[in-house]
Amino acid sequence: MEHLKKHCGSVLFCLSILIGLWAASECSYLVFHSIAEIFSIVVACGIFVLAWNSRRFVQNHYLLFVGIAYLFVAGLDLLHTLAYKGMGVFQGFGSNLATQLWISARYIESVSLLVAAFVIRRKFKIHVVLVIYGVVVTILLASIFYWKIFPVCYVEGTGLTLFKKVSEYVICILLLLSIGVLLKRRSEFEPYVVRLLAGSIAVTIVSELAFTLYVNVEGFPNLIGHYLKIISFYLIYKAIIQTGLTRPFDLLLRDLKHSEEALKAAKENLEIEVSERTAQLRQSIEKLRETELRYRTVADFNYDWEYWENPDCSFRYVSPSCERITGYAVDEFVANPKLLTDIIVAEDMHAWKQHREQALADPQGHDLQFRIRMKDGKVRWIEHACQSVNSQGGEFLGFRASNRDITARKEAEAKLAESREALRMLAGGLLSIQEEERRRLARELHDDLTQRLAVLAIEAGKLERQLEALPGEIREKIRRMKEQIVKLSSDVHDISRQLHPSIIDDLGIRQAIQSECVNFTKREGIAVKYEPENIPPNIPRNISVCLFRIVQESLRNIAKHAKVTEAKVRLEGHGDAISLTVEDSGVGFDPAQIRGEAGLGLVSMEERTRLIQGQFQVRSQPGQGTVIQVTAKLAGD
pLDDT in tens, 26-67: 566 777 778 888 888 888 888 888 888 877 766 667 888 888
CATH number at residue 604: 3.30.565.10
Q: What is the CATH number of the domain that holds 331?
A: 3.30.450.20
Same domain, 582 and 600: yes
Q: Which of 370, 405, 440 is the last residue of a domain?
A: 405
Q: Is 16 exposed, middle or buried (0-12, 13-18, 19+ CB in 10 A)?
A: exposed
CB neighbours (10 Å) of residue 446?
A: 18
**Rounded to 5°, angle at Cα 532 from 530 and 536:** 155
pLDDT digits (tens, 9 = 90+) for 62-117: 888 888 999 999 999 899 889 887 787 888 788 889 889 989 998 998 999 899 88
**Whether residues 234 and 254 fall in one domain:** no
Out of 14-18, 79-83, 308-312, 611-615, pick the least confident.
14-18
* 133 has pLDDT over 90: yes
Domain check: are 516 and 615 in the same one? yes
Assess whether 310 and 220 both reside in one domain. Answer: no
Whole-prediction pTM value?
0.40
Per-residue pLDDT, 257: 45
Q: Which of 458, 473, 500 is the last residue of a domain?
A: 500
Identify whether residues 30 and 145 lie together within a single domain.
Answer: yes
Among 111-115, 224-228, 232-236, 265-269, the range of highest mean pLDDT? 111-115
List pLDDT tens digits, range 236-253.
877 775 555 444 343 333
Asked if residue 150 is part of any domain, the answer here is yes
Average pLDDT, the chain: 78
Residue 8 covered by a domain = no
* 272 within some domain: yes
Question: Does residue 1 fall inside a structural domain?
Answer: no
Domain end residue (candidates: 202, 221, 245): 245
Is 3 domain-assigned?
no
According to DSSP, the β-strands at 305-309 and 396-405 are antiparallel
- Does 612 reside within a domain? yes
Considering the domain boundaries, does residue 484 fall inside one? yes
Of the candidates 158, 43, 21, the residue with the CA atom closest to the CA atom of residue 95? 158
Q: Are residues 276 and 363 in the same domain?
A: no
Which residue range is the domain that position 349 belongs to?
302-405
Same domain, 465 and 551: no
pLDDT computed for residue 22 by the predictor: 59
pLDDT at 583: 92
Question: Does a structural domain hold residue 6?
Answer: no
Using 50, 70 and 90 to split pLDDT, how confident is the model at 293? low
- Mean pLDDT lowest for which of 48-57, 334-343, 370-379, 583-592? 48-57
| Mean pLDDT value across residues 598-620 | 80
Tell me the pLDDT band of 14, cut-offs 50, 70 and 90: low
Q: How many domains does the chain have?
A: 5
C-alpha–C-alpha distance, residues 579 and 452, integer Å: 40
| Same domain, residue pair 429 and 385 | no
**What is the percent of the chain with per-residue pLDDT over 70, rounded to a whole number?**
73
In a shared domain, residues 277 and 306? no
Shared domain for 443 and 516, answered yes or no, is no
Q: Tell me, yes or no, whether 185 and 89 share the same domain.
A: yes
Same domain, yes or no, for 36 and 160? yes
